[in-house]
Amino acid sequence: MSSRVKVVVTGAAGQIAYSLIPRLVDGRTFGDKIVDLYLVEIPQVVNKLEGLVMELEDSFFPNMGDVKYTDNFEEASHGADWFLLVGSIPRGIVYEGKKIEERSDLLKINGGIFVNQGEAIGKYGKDNAKILVVGNPANTNALIGKNAAGKESQLWMAMTMLDSSRAKSVISKKTGVEINKVKNMIIWGNHSPTMYPDVENVLIDGKPGSEIINDMNWVTESFLPTVQQRGKAVIDSRGASSATSAAKAALDTIIACENPTEDGDSFSAAIASDGAYGVPEGLMCGYPLMTLQDGTIEIKRDLTLSEFAKEKFKISIDELESEREAVKNLLK
Ligand code: NAD
Ligand code: LMR
């Protein structure tokens, strides 16, 4: 295994990136590996990255390798192992005179970014590169990027780890079980208010949620809406979307991909469906994933979904299909 890893981060002058980038080189996320960073921004703000690089240099990170920045994504992408595609416009801001509140607005504005970035990743990224799309609408942006890259050996993911961490927190509070004993917290479907956080297959101190949580009223009236609407609740309060929690979730996704998954556990991310759990092929769908001992990442396939769960999951699958339809002009 290589002792160096090259990581490209887009949106590097943004809110999430400010919390994310230092922790990529702190010796925890990639262990002992030396981390080379290539930070990418749009031309209007790329110069701000000079200040961020100064701060990184001033922070005494023994594992930090080369740090470069650019507004040219292609240049950054050569030989990269990981791509963290954060750069895009968040909800809650005013863009060209209009407050961006709906995912459909984001789809129009952000979708195009991922065609060019996907092409460059397919051409210049490592054959086994991993790509984590954070920028919203994450699943469909990842679909666009993966399609443009056209390289099956690369693994494209959209981030649902934040939703999984949110759901763990709510379950921990409800049951009084420590958060690190809440495992196999699956987010099925889209990173959007239609997602289905699986309250039945979750393991709470080793026992399935279906045995521990016998309060369907709480599930439908409190648990699901709280997790599904948490992004909006943070935006409404902060006037900006979740940043430090999103950064932590991106780091946790990397750690989950770089290390074998414990027996019984899984981690959440959206990857391209191969038909697993009846999801139409190609949709970037939130699944329970496992990293095997040899580093392969696979969908955990042995779970049972109740009729309730199937019904909720279908709502999210339908939304993913309609998003795919809406961006079909961006798909080759
Ligand atoms: P931000 O506005 O603070 O930063 C985004 C940065 O991206 C800006 O600096 C912008 O200049 C840059 N950017 C835009 N287009 C770019 C491009 N083509 N190439 C490189 N950089 C580009 O926003 P943020 O708070 O950091 O959020 C970033 C994205 O992450 C948003 O779309 C937000 O909705 C999303 N998000 C996703 C999750 C999740 O769980 N998947 C959670 C929180 C936020
Ligand atoms: C979140 O989940 O916090 C982000 O995706 C922001 C949003 O727009 O909901």
In sequence order, what are the residues at sequence separation of 6 or more whose Cβ sits closer than 8 angstroms to the Cβ of residue 67?
36, 37, 39, 53, 56, 57
Q: Is 45 in the pocket of ligand 1 (CB under 6 A)?
A: yes
Residues 124, 167 within the same domain: no
- Please give the residue range of the domain that contains residue 122: 4-158
Domain finish residue from 158, 192, 211: 158
Q: Over the stretch 245-273, which tens digit does the pLDDT of each residue have? A: 999 999 999 999 999 999 999 999 999 99
Mean residue pLDDT of the chain comes to 95
Q: Over the stretch 8-45, which tens digit does the pLDDT of each residue have? A: 999 999 999 999 999 999 999 999 999 999 999 999 99
Residues 296, 149 within the same domain: no
Residues 302, 166 within the same domain: yes
Identify the active-site residue in 33, 166, 183, 191. 191
In sequence order, what are the residues at sequence separation of 6 or more whose Cβ sits closer than 8 angstroms to the Cβ of residue 20?
9, 84, 86, 246, 247, 250, 251
Residues 177, 316 within the same domain: yes
Atom number of ligand 1 nearest to Cα 87: 7
Residues 51, 70 within the same domain: yes
Residues 170, 26 within the same domain: no
For residue 78, indicate whether it is catalytic.
no
Q: Is the pTM of this model over 0.85?
A: yes
Residues 151, 170 within the same domain: no
Residues 17, 143 within the same domain: yes
Q: Over the stretch 125-161, which tens digit does the pLDDT of each residue have? A: 999 999 999 999 999 999 999 999 999 999 999 999 9
The residue to mutate among 9, 84, 88, having the most atoms of ligand 1 within 8 angstroms of its beta carbon, is: 88
What is residue 33's DSSP assignment? -
Atom number of ligand 1 nearest to Cα 106: 32
Backbone conformation region of residue 92, classed left if phi is above 0, alpha if psi is from -120 to 50, else beta: left
Q: Give the gyration radius of the chain's Cα atoms.
A: 19
Kindly state the helix (H) or strand (E) to which residue 269 belongs, with its residue range: strand 267-272
Determine whether 53 is exposed, middle or buried from the number of CB atoms within 10 Å of its CB (0-12, 13-18, 19+). middle
Residues 127, 182 within the same domain: no
> For position 216, which CATH number holds?
3.90.110.10
Q: How far is CA 102 from CA 105, 111, 124, 234, 293, in A?
A: 5, 14, 33, 15, 41
Residues 143, 17 within the same domain: yes
